[in-house]
Amino acid sequence: MKFELLGTDGAARRGQLTTTHGVVQTPVFMPVGTQATVKALTPTDLESAGAEIILGNTYHLLLRPGPDVVRELGGLHRFMGWSGAILTDSGGFQVFSLAKTRTISDAGVEFRAPLDGVTRFLSPESVVDIQRALGSDISMPLDECLAYPATREATARSLARTLHWAARAREAHGARTDDQALFGIVQGGAYDDLRAEAVERTVALDFEGYAIGGMAVGEPKPTMLDLTATVAAALPRDRPRYLMGVGKPEDLVEGVARGVDMFDCVLPTRNARNGQAFTSTGPVTIKQARWTRDATPLDPACSCYTCRTFSRAYLRHLFVSEELLAYRLLTLHNVRFYLCLMAAMRASIEARAFAAFRRRFFSDYVSSDDRVC
Amino acid sequence: MKFELLGTDGAARRGQLTTTHGVVQTPVFMPVGTQATVKALTPTDLESAGAEIILGNTYHLLLRPGPDVVRELGGLHRFMGWSGAILTDSGGFQVFSLAKTRTISDAGVEFRAPLDGVTRFLSPESVVDIQRALGSDISMPLDECLAYPATREATARSLARTLHWAARAREAHGARTDDQALFGIVQGGAYDDLRAEAVERTVALDFEGYAIGGMAVGEPKPTMLDLTATVAAALPRDRPRYLMGVGKPEDLVEGVARGVDMFDCVLPTRNARNGQAFTSTGPVTIKQARWTRDATPLDPACSCYTCRTFSRAYLRHLFVSEELLAYRLLTLHNVRFYLCLMAAMRASIEARAFAAFRRRFFSDYVSSDDRVC
């Protein structure tokens, strides 16, 4: 994997990530494909929406169909028919939030999966192995995910474990001659000094990119943004920076403003299935009766298939009728909206006009119908 | 609407139906789009599967979003973004099978809809009006749908009512100068003489096509096929014949062998959502563990996106994971399979080789992997 920083505008960065599965323009949003599918979309839909990289979930794929099945079928790309890049998470976040019972030790995490009740064990080494079997372009090490708020003592203890695991993952993953990259994850909770320590000791392990973890876990938005700015500024300039699990459209703009290169979040896909569409003039709740006879598209500024073809009235009808097509069409639009927003940000950084873009976005997103893309 | 009989091979017919929304090659299968959507598919999917005409359900569209909304939004074609032909049923079948309570009189049917509990009344005239508002290319008159078995007396009484309603529908629909066709529906249950009377008196009303109704309602398969053959043979040669609600792939072949031109059925779409795929070598139950590591496509003889892109193992994974994409990909394949089967039948009739095709289909569908299309 190769990362090139093409330009900057303030803290905002315009870059390019070259993987064995294509080039990814940054800042980038990565749609989440939990179970080897970005819910309701085909690989062709993702391409037409402009996706260059998507996420896969190690935890879910471990449980089903299992890394051995995926490897036997040619790896995750071939299994799901996606020829672009894939980043797999470590499964840590899901183990901490989804598993019924879990026991953490320095060795790793033992957990009982809700799906089959079977007890499994994840170590820093096994998480590397699983992601090798999946064959993703970018892999993540096992880390401990702490809830917010947490005491300084608990956060420091947790950080020590994450750093210990990071070193073991680095070791297990081996030299950087492989075609699969490994990122480091910066933890440290809401404590500036712990975050600073996390940056220093994680960077010392020399990863190919750095994620800012433990965000969007319940902390106030200003805290998240301040921590992001501090951590991003401390990270090496020549490596991509990935803000995990973030966020809303406005969070992406604020993240880019603070020097973040990569984002992922279930919001555009999950909210689509709940009937919320993101548009250039703000979110739309499609089930509202006000759209019953509305012949206009979801977002006149959008060029996706949904907006080119259907009215809000039709989308509302599909959604209230619980038709499968509703989830698909809204997902397609939301993913396209997120990817277009990133494209617009990239263009504004290239033009060294990011500050103006950011002002305009916040004005448009709540108050007008100006074109985002 | 214009129907041209292009050729025959035994009782099998090759024809062409010209509507204001394109030309339809017959024999044809019409995918069912109950609520203004063929479940899980876009109009683009339907086109790529080769669909030229689809079905809309008057009953469902009456309840939601209502014919006034559809008319205001430019009619059913525009509302759902489908530029091909549409046939709407009369809603009679759904009223008789879905409504909680219903009262039938010669005037029409009063029913309480399960959706909103509101009492509504359908008359032969209102059913014509609703379909005019929907703007379908082919409309159907209100008929009484009898369960099987029914006594001769009950069947005769019911037939008399259907014929009375047919005459009123014909009157309400007016002269055949309109761009919306009206078909007659031949009832008469499982009684040959009542079917003969139904044909004679329905044809006397001079409809633009004739449906064989009251089939696939529980009668033995041989009874259905014999009645179809008898009714089809008695219908005018220059009008299309539509066997309503039928059926499995083998039923389509047997229907064509008996002179049927048009079919509709929820099987390819509904069974897809239940995990059953139709293939050239017979049905496949995708959730079976035997497909867990199967790298082959659903049907190597099929050229649909699903078969071109994904393995049975992946489709199984999606289905057992209850992923939305499973329903979409299986639906896309099943619809394509049905439409290809019809295309193959049309080609065999043109080549005057339908008998050989029919023998081969029955041999292949259970025993080999020969190409259907």
The DSSP-derived string for A80-143 is HT--SEEEE--SHHHHHHH-SEEEEETTEEEEE-TTT--EEEE-HHHHHHHHHHHT-SEE----
Contacts of A318 in chain B (CB under 8 A): 35-37
pLDDT the model gives residue B176:
60
List of residues 6+ apart from A372 with CB closer than 8 A: A280, A301, A302, A337, A340, A341, A344, A361, A364
- Per CB-CB distance under 8 Å, the chain A contacts of B313 are 65, 69, 73, 79
Given an 8 Å threshold on Cβ–Cβ distance, is A324 in contact with B40? yes
Spatial CA neighbour of A265 closest among A127, A96, A93, A102: A93
Question: How many residues in chain A?
Answer: 373
Give the Cα separation of A18 and A30 in Å (integer).
15
Nearest by CB to A81, which of B69, B295, B309? B309
- pLDDT digit string, tens, across residues B227-245: 999 999 999 999 999 999 9
Contact B162, B187 (CB under 8 A): yes
Which has more confidence, A316 or A146? Answer: A316
Query: Which residues of chain B lie closer than 8 angstroms to A293, CB-CB?
Result: 69, 72-73
Q: Out of B65, B74, B323, name the one closest to residue A39 (CB).
A: B323
**Burial level of B151, CB count in 10 A (0-12/13-18/19+)?**
exposed
Question: Between chains, do A73 and B311 touch, taking CB under 8 Å as contact?
Answer: yes
Is the pLDDT assigned to residue A327 strictly greater than 80?
yes
Alpha-carbon distance B306 to A340, whole Å?
27
Q: What's the pLDDT score for residue A371?
A: 39
The tens digit of pLDDT for each residue in A337-373 reads: 999 999 999 999 999 999 999 999 999 886 444 334 4
Which pLDDT value is given to residue B115?
83
**Distance (Å, rounded) from C-alpha A189 to C-alpha A331?**
32
Measured on CA atoms in the order A168, A169, A170, A171, is the torsion positive or negative? Answer: positive
CA distance A30 to chain B (A): 19
Q: Is the dihedral of CA A318, A319, A323, A328 positive or negative?
A: positive
Q: Is residue A177 very low, low, confident or very high in pLDDT (cuts 50, 70, 90)?
A: low
Task: Report CB contact under 8 Å: B43, A72.
Answer: no
**Tens of pLDDT along B120-151?**
999 999 999 999 999 999 999 999 988 899 99
Contact B70, B356 (CB under 8 A): no
Contact B320 A36 (CB under 8 A): no
Give A76→chain B minimum CA distance, Å.
10
Determine the residue of chain B that is closest to A312 in CA distance. B79
Q: Who among B305, B310, B317 is closest to A64 (CB)?
A: B317
In this predicted structure, what is the pLDDT of residue A370?
Answer: 39
pLDDT at A175: 66
Q: Is pLDDT at A97 greater than 90 in this prediction?
A: no
End-to-end CA distance of chain A: 29
Sequence letter at residue B110? E
pLDDT-based confidence at residue B221 (cuts at 50, 70, 90): very high
Question: What pLDDT sits at residue B40?
Answer: 98
Q: Has residue B373 got a pLDDT over 60?
A: no
What's chain A's average pLDDT? 95
Return all residues near B92 (Cβ < 8 A) that are at least 6 apart.
B109, B122, B127, B142, B143, B144, B145
Task: List the single residue in B with minimal CA-CA distance to A79.
Answer: B314
Is the model's pLDDT at A131 over the cut of 50?
Answer: yes
Task: Note the pLDDT of residue B96.
Answer: 86
pLDDT score of B368: 41
* CA terminus-to-terminus distance, chain B: 29
Residue of chain B minimizing CA distance to A314: B79
Does residue A217 sit in helix, strand or coil?
coil
**What does the pLDDT read at residue A115?**
83
Q: Considering only B28-42, B169-183, B201-215, which range has the smallest mean pLDDT?
A: B169-183
Query: What is the model's pLDDT at position A366?
Result: 61
**Contact residues, chain B, for A305 at CB < 8 Å:** 42, 44
* DSSP, res A313: H
Q: What is the CA radius of gyration of chain B?
A: 20
Give the tokens for residue A87: 């980043």
> Do A73 and B313 make contact, defined as CB atoms within 8 angstroms?
yes
**Which pLDDT band, with edges at 50, 70 and 90, does B161 fall under?**
very high
pLDDT (0 to 100) of residue B299? 96
| Helical ranges in chain B per DSSP H | 43-49, 58-63, 67-72, 75-80, 92-98, 124-134, 152-173, 192-203, 221-234, 249-257, 267-273, 305-309, 312-320, 324-350, 354-367
What pLDDT is recorded for position B177?
Answer: 60
Minimum mean pLDDT among A255-259, B125-129, B171-175, B299-303: which range? Answer: B171-175
pLDDT tops 50 at residue B289: yes
Indicate the pTM of the whole model. Answer: 0.96
Residues 6+ apart with CB under 8 A from B337: B249, B268, B277, B278, B279, B280, B299, B302, B304, B372
List residues of B with catalytic annotation.
89, 264
The answer to whether residue A335 neighbours chain B at the CB level (below 8 Å) is no
Sequence-ordered list of residues with C-beta below 8 angstroms from that of B287, at least 6 positions apart, any chain: B275, B316, B319, B320
Kindly state the percentage of chain A with pLDDT values over 70: 97
Out of A39, A295, A320, closest to residue B324 by CB: A39
Omega cis (within 30) before A65: yes
Answer whether B309 sits within 8 Å of A79, measured CB to CB: no
The average pLDDT across B261-272 equals 98
Predicted local distance difference test score (pLDDT) of residue B369: 41
**Is A166 in contact with A202 (CB distance < 8 Å)?**
yes
Helices A249-257 and A324-350: angle between axes, nearest 10 degrees: 20
Lowest mean pLDDT among A91-95, A152-156, B82-86, B348-352: A91-95
Number of alpha helices (DSSP H) and beta strands (DSSP E) in chain A: 15, 17
Q: What does the pLDDT average to over A207-228?
A: 95
- How many Å apart are CA A338 and CA A346, to the nearest integer? 13
Distance CA A275, CA A295 (A): 18
ipTM score for this prediction: 0.96
The whole-angstrom separation of Cα B313 and Cα A306 is: 30
